[in-house]
Structure 1
Amino acid sequence: MFERLFGKRPAQTEPRAPEVMGLHLGGSFSLDELKLRLLEPDIVPEGMASHQIIQAVGEIKLDANSRVLRFYTDDDAFLQVLLDGGGSESDIRDVKLWYFYETRGVGSEADWNSLLKNGISQANFTFEDREWLRVWEGTGDSSPPVAMTETTWQANGGVSSTDQFAMLYEREIAPQRFEYLMKVGEEKLEGSRLDRCLVISTGFDIEPADLTFI
């Protein structure tokens, strides 16, 4: 009543960084050390840390029911969780651990347009002497990059938004076991200019049972 009389409104709180399965901003997790060491000879990343601290959290809303959460760590990696239907453990459909491989700046509008048209989505290509096949196929003759927007919460309280144009690739490393590669064209407004880059990451599947939360 007093708020109505004196024109005061309840203070609005900023949305908090998403959490799931014990993963949260500022937290940490451990991975099965033996499984990492056995997997390492077959994949691109080397020297992966079994214990990682979460320094930022990203969220991508795919549709009304599905979203992707990314937990960025101090090992130049991110744990990616696909959720469908809600935010509980029973809604988890997929978990992957990704490692950043390379980031290339894009300097001009022409280079950016060329990247979106020809540089991100290819039927197959060779990378690190390995052959990779495109996963996300379109219904027509071409399969353009998939557009999405990620909101990212930093440990210092900052929140930012990045437009992304992505394509997923895979290669089989053992029967029914795959390593993945993702090419992403990222576009972010920094002041009055657009900061653009190509980010290449490689990843692999993780079983939730292989994670210990701290």
Structure 2
Amino acid sequence: MFDRLFGRKSANDAPGLPAIRNVTIGRTVVLDPLAWRRFGGALLFPFDSDTLQIVAQGVVALDEGGFIHRFYTDDDVMFQAVSNDRAGQDITDVTIFAPWQSRYPGRASERPAWRERLTARSFTDDGLPEYRRAWFGDEAERQEPVSFWEDVHDDRDGIVDRRIFQTCMLYARTVEGDGRELLLAIDQENEAGEVSFEIMLGMALELGEFRA
């Protein structure tokens, strides 16, 4: 999903890379598989393992002051924690996402059309049911998506290896057993100007449903 970009920040200028509840590059996250298996075949979430080997880590500083911490496996499964602080001491949300589909636009006209899809109150795609907008609620017919830069690290030296600009919207659908499946639709561009459209499926985790 991520390509190596040009340039690196000086290690002297980069803040230390935080470990979030002991999760960071080089460590293994052990998940409670009952978190998704209890829903039987109702989830389309394309993941069924109880371990994640973390090989890369991303940090997003949100405009409103919060932080998103992302931890990636070799096959781009993404373990994500949202916190009110960069150190990750005050976690408000934990999710796991797995790739569903990646597209690489061949024409410039494809990007505005994809961006417009991210403003809609619902989202669907080939092989997927309808998901309703989870961010901002689905009352408004149109809602602008969220945009941010993600600093991605391949090791713990504090140097940013690549930066990716993302515009995204989160959707969700209810599944049997009082569950909820998430869909993250993303427009992303690296510093070299390479663009891709990503669809990831996931679900929320409780703090007791993982350890590292």
Q: Which amino acid aligns with 2:200?
A: S
1:106 match: secondary structure:
coil
2:41 match: secondary structure:
helix
CA RMSD between the two structures: 2.5
TM-score by length of 1: 0.81
Corresponding residue number in structure 1 for 2:168: 166
Corresponding residue number in structure 2 for 1:22: 22
1:78-98: CA deviation from partner (whole Å, max 9, x where unpaired): 111010145244x10000011
The structure with more strand, counted as a fraction of residues: 1
Taking structure 1 as reference, are residues 147 and 158 closer, same or farther at Cα in structure 2, changes over 3 Å only?
closer
Taking structure 1 as reference, are residues 64 and 171 closer, same or farther at Cα in structure 2, changes over 3 Å only?
closer
Return 5+ residue gaps in structure 1 as ranges: 1-10
1:95 match: secondary structure:
strand
1:109 match: secondary structure:
coil
Which one scores higher on RCO, CA 8 angstroms, separation ≥ 6?
Answer: 2
How far has the Cα of 1:158 moved from its partner?
A: 6.0
How far has the Cα of 1:101 moved from its partner?
A: 0.7
2:38 match: secondary structure:
helix
Instruction: Check the 8 A contact 1:136/1:168 in 2, yes or no.
Output: yes
Q: Which of the two has higher C-alpha Rg? A: 1
Corresponding residue number in structure 2 for 1:123: 121
Corresponding residue number in structure 1 for 2:8: none
Instruction: Check the 8 A contact 2:39/2:179 in 1, yes or no.
Output: no
Residues 1-214 of structure 1 mapped to structure 2, 5 A cutoff: 12=12, 14-39=14-39, 41-63=41-63, 65-85=65-85, 87-89=87-89, 91-116=90-115, 118-127=116-125, 128-137=127-136, 142-155=142-155, 159-174=161-176, 177-190=179-192, 194-213=193-212
Q: Which amino acid aligns with 2:44?
A: V
Taking structure 1 as reference, are residues 212 and 45 closer, same or farther at Cα in structure 2, changes over 3 Å only?
same
Stretch deviating more after TM superposition (62-71 or 122-131): 122-131
Q: Alignment identity in percent?
A: 24
How far has the Cα of 1:31 moved from its partner?
A: 0.7
Instruction: Check the 8 A contact 1:107/1:196 in 2, yes or no.
Output: no
The structure with more helix, counted as a fraction of residues: 1
